[in-house]
Amino acid sequence: MIRFVFRFMGLWVLAGAFVALVLDGVRSIASSEIVTTPLGVTWLSVSPDTLTRFQAFTEGTLSSPVWEYLVVPVLGAPLFAVLGVVGALLLLIGRRPAVQ
């Protein structure tokens, strides 16, 4: 049952990555240059309070360099890439073990 949940969530996250890729593609065609939407911009437009709380939690619990050198680059990565990696990891977690 747990494997099903991981696979189900992985497919939905990959579908979100595909939608983000299509939206970036449409924006790129419209502006005649490559346009990608970073994860941080999307998160900020959807829920700015949770982003600031996450920053405070990360800097308070772990440290400020963790926020600067680990989290900020991920927030600057394209949304479709981050969702694609997370979706692929969820699918890998939910896969069946090989029968030997």
7-41 tens-digit pLDDT: 999 999 999 999 999 999 999 999 999 999 999 99
Is the pLDDT higher at 100 or at 7? 7
User: Residue 78 — φ and ψ, nearest 5°?
Assistant: -60, 140
For range 70-77, the mean pLDDT: 95
pLDDT at 100: 67
d(CA 15, CA 87): 9
For tokens 């692929």, name the residue. 88
Q: Reply yes or no on whether the pLDDT at 69 is more than 80.
A: yes
pTM summary value:
0.87
DSSP at 38: B
First and final C-alpha spacing in the chain: 22
